[in-house]
Structure 1
Amino acid sequence: MYFYYYEDIYIYALSLVKELGGTKCSVSLDAYKLEHFHLNFDRINQILTAFVIGEGELL
């Protein structure tokens, strides 16, 4: 997450998952070089909380 700073796409995807009845999500990082890592865990947690996605729904 945050490799290309496409937060709006991630939020849209989560809205589709919830709208279509999805019950499981995963959080991963799409980076291949150390300098590309942006581990904004606090922001990721805010987004998951906004979509009412708890630990039980994470893979």
Structure 2
Amino acid sequence: MLKPETIPGVAAAENGLVTLDGPVGLAIAMTPEAAAETGRRLIAAAEIAATQVANELPLD
């Protein structure tokens, strides 16, 4: 099982695109429209996940 990331990514606007840089080499570029929809979907999923009971298995 993958260990969930606890460090948030860093978003920036560059040359009309939105870039997202994260830990472990994560990097993505999106159109503004794709970035906005991704943001909405991430927030919706985060709200649902926050109400769920975390898996009892250790993350190490």
Short-chain TM bin: under 0.3
Q: Which has the higher contact order (CA 8 A, sep 6+)?
A: 1
- TM-score normalised by L of structure 2: 0.27
Higher helix share: 1
- TM-score normalised by L of structure 1: 0.27
- Greater CA radius of gyration, 1 or 2? 2
